[in-house]
Chain A
Amino acid sequence: MNTWEIVAYLVASFLFITGIKGLTHPRTAVRGNLLSALGMLIAVAVTALHITDIGWWWVIVGLLIGGVIGVVAATRVQMTAMPQMVAIFNGFGGGASIFVAWAELIPNASRISPEQYEQISHYPDTMGLIAAALAGLIGAVTFSGSMIAYGKLQEFKIFWKPWVLPHHQLLNVGLFIATVLAALLVIAFPGGSAWWYLPLVLLALTLGVTLTSPIGGADMPVVIALLNSYSGLAAAATGFVINNIVLIIAGSLVGASGLILTAIMCKAMNRSLVNVLFGKIDASSATATADEIYEGKIKSTSAEEVAMLMDGVQRVVIVPGYGMAVAQAQHAVRDLYQLLEDREVNVEFAVHPVAGRMPGHMNVLLAEVDIPYEKLVEMDTINPTLDTVDVAIVLGANDVVNPDARKDDSPIAGMPIINVDQARTVVVIKRSLSPGFAGIPNPLFANDNTLMYFADGKKAIDDLNTAVKENS
């Protein structure tokens, strides 16, 4: 390894940092991502200098298989399926860490010339063994956890109900202890590390499954962000195994990024990370039942009635939720947006930080259908102005607009919400009165200024568009 290679790895690290910095604004984001990709290309090109004759075949086969799968998956995926795509890519990152560390543990796995070979011992030292054990542990939890997250987001039938085993938390603790013991064996017996690594990985894979499987629904953004962080930490640990600074820098950047996103998601639900991962919302503490709240107060409406409401309005706010993604209603929403904007109505979108199944999920769907960036307004910005809104349309969102969050005795007390109930009229588009993820009734539906428009999200907006056109 010469100075130029060190410089090249540092340039790559610099490009990763600059690249992420570019993501702070939509104008610079595309360039940022390209810079980051350039950094990766440089890191790979410099590393390729170490590949020798027969090694090339292995490397080329691996790059081809991985490259083709990556390109096909990334270009075919629908925007609505983005959360599961991110989850699965993430899992592969963790999986790669498992195998790199494993390959390092196998005796004679040296990447040196025959002359150097005589000078240096072949086994990793204690630091390398600790790092390898960590890379295996975190990498395996990331891999299996991400695959479970993928299955849940893809809504495979076996994941429809969260898997909760008897004494689930006890099981997690036991598995964790066993995994740490296996890691200690890897470190304690350098000669047999490569063997002890197998039980370590198997236990950690199981742990990833049991940690992720009980979590679902609206808590998924936290899980996805956390697994993202883990994949970075696994890469950083792998960096310690092979003494490579570019892995350490890039890995810890990603680790930090995932942790911040995790914290933001938790804050947006006013829950601690521990509560999201191991607890659940206690819906039974809700003070009133659905019947008491809804009885005789629900006003049902139709496309025609809502279209009439839209006559002469100046300001409309749409609050999208996961229901919009499920119904694939984003294109219909865009048409509605265009119809209203053509009549000089100011239409904005109020996006809650945890709406959807991953951080920023709603923004991606709305950007897909060409809603201008500045029309996507953050919760904190739009909340103080909601009392000047003529009509607020809640599309497939529930808990994030539940005014009970402002009450101290509610199960979701303290969760920041979008204050749609302050708008002059609220139209809630929903298939039924069924509760959201928190499992509690929503008094918003029973408010005097709320109209319930019971329908599938896409059909509802399509019908509304037709009615608005007929009215004009």
Chain B
Amino acid sequence: MHHCLMLADTAITTDSGAQLGLLLAILMLAIFVGFEIITKVPPTLHTPLMSGSNAISGITIVGALLAAGAFESGFLTRLFALLAVIMATINVVGGYLVTHRMLGMFRKKG
């Protein structure tokens, strides 16, 4: 793979198999962490959990920003990236705001 990210730099010197292994290990550990924390969320908070984690899935915004704003991007790339930025931003901004609204209702008598 080309470009910028963290592990990509080391990938120039190491082989891509090791890099893939590392990324898969991160994936596996993150899934474990996810299972561990989320089983403790009480049913009362299931909706905020869903909309809050939904906002986190808007992390795709990072990829969208990279594609839209990069030095070498062509027009079509930027256009697709623009669509991605719009959708990811709706997801992130809307998701966090709506979760905040909901949680505010739970807190005021907590």
Instruction: Give 1 or 0 for each of B73-88: 1 = CB within 8 Å of chain A CB.
Output: 1101110111111111
B54 and A250 within 8 A (CB) = no
Given A103-B67, A252-B27, check contact A360 B6 (CB 8 Å).
no
Interface residue ranges of A235-262 to B (CB < 8 Å): 235-236, 238-258, 260-261
Cα A103 to Cα B75 with chains together (Å): 10
Cα A376 to Cα B56 with chains together (Å): 27
For B, the interface residue count at a CB cutoff of 8 angstroms equals 95
A50 and B69 within 8 A (CB) = yes
B3 and A245 within 8 A (CB) = no
Q: Across the two chains, which residue of chain B brings its CB closest to A378?
A: B43
A97 and B60 within 8 A (CB) = yes
Interface status of A112 (Cβ within 8 A of chain B): yes
Instruction: Give 1 or 0 for each of B1-14: 1 = CB within 8 Å of chain A CB.
Output: 11111111101100
Interface-located stretch among A84-92, A269-277, A382-390, A410-418: A84-92
Cα A20 to Cα B16 with chains together (Å): 32
- A80, chain B: closest CB distance, angstroms: 12
A34 and B100 within 8 A (CB) = yes
For A, the interface residue count at a CB cutoff of 8 angstroms equals 130
A124 and B90 within 8 A (CB) = no
Interface residue ranges of B32-67 to A (CB < 8 Å): 32-35, 37-67
- B73 CB contacts on chain A under 8 angstroms: 55, 103, 109, 111
- A50 CB contacts on chain B under 8 angstroms: 4, 65-66, 69-70
- B48, chain A: closest CB distance, angstroms: 6
Interface status of A75 (Cβ within 8 A of chain B): yes
B49 and A244 within 8 A (CB) = no
Q: Across the two chains, which residue of chain B brings its CB closest to A227?
A: B54
Interface status of A327 (Cβ within 8 A of chain B): no
- B102 CB contacts on chain A under 8 angstroms: 79, 82, 364, 367
Interface status of A165 (Cβ within 8 A of chain B): no
B80 and A99 within 8 A (CB) = yes
Interface status of A127 (Cβ within 8 A of chain B): yes
Residue with the highest number of chain A CB atoms closer than 10 Å, among B11, B41, B54, B92: B54
A74 and B94 within 8 A (CB) = yes
Interface status of A351 (Cβ within 8 A of chain B): yes
- B80 CB contacts on chain A under 8 angstroms: 99-100, 102-103, 106
Given A9-B6, A24-B41, check contact A89 B52 (CB 8 Å).
no
- Identify B98's interface contact among A69, A82, A239, CB under 8 A: A82
B58 and A243 within 8 A (CB) = no
A251 and B59 within 8 A (CB) = yes
Interface status of A457 (Cβ within 8 A of chain B): no
- A232 CB contacts on chain B under 8 angstroms: 53, 56-57
- Identify B82's interface contact among A26, A62, A116, CB under 8 A: A62
Q: Across the two chains, which residue of chain A brings its CB closest to B74?
A: A108
- A348, chain B: closest CB distance, angstroms: 13
- B97 CB contacts on chain A under 8 angstroms: 70-71, 74-75
B60 and A93 within 8 A (CB) = yes
- B77 CB contacts on chain A under 8 angstroms: 103, 106, 108-109
- A252, chain B: closest CB distance, angstroms: 4
Q: Across the two chains, which residue of chain A brings its CB closest to B32?
A: A256
Cα A249 to Cα B37 with chains together (Å): 14
- B11, chain A: closest CB distance, angstroms: 7
Q: Across the two chains, which residue of chain A brings its CB closest to B107?
A: A30
- Identify A30's interface contact among B20, B58, B83, B104, CB under 8 A: B104
B72 and A117 within 8 A (CB) = yes
- Identify B101's interface contact among A69, A74, A109, A245, CB under 8 A: A74
Given A1-B4, A58-B68, A261-B50, check contact A26 B85 (CB 8 Å).
no
12 pairs, A vs B, C-beta closer than 8 Å:
A33-B96, A48-B65, A56-B69, A65-B86, A66-B93, A70-B97, A96-B63, A100-B84, A124-B1, A127-B20, A257-B53, A363-B44
Enumerate the 5 nearest inter-chain pairs by beta-carbon distance, A residue then B residue, closest first.
A66-B89, A256-B34, A62-B85, A51-B69, A55-B69
Given contacts A62-B68, A82-B102, list 15 more A-B pairs with CB under 8 A: A37-B96, A51-B68, A52-B70, A59-B69, A95-B87, A97-B60, A99-B84, A106-B76, A109-B72, A117-B72, A225-B50, A228-B54, A254-B34, A257-B38, A260-B38
A interface residues, Cβ below 8 angstroms from B: 1, 5-6, 9, 13, 16-17, 19-21, 23-27, 29-30, 32-34, 36-37, 40, 43-44, 47-48, 50-52, 55-56, 58-59, 61-63, 65-67, 69-71, 73-75, 77, 79, 82, 85-86, 89-90, 92-93, 95-100, 102-104, 106, 108-114, 116-117, 119-125, 127-128, 224-225, 228, 231-232, 234-236, 238-258, 260-261, 264, 351, 353, 358-361, 363-364, 367-368, 370, 372-373, 376, 378
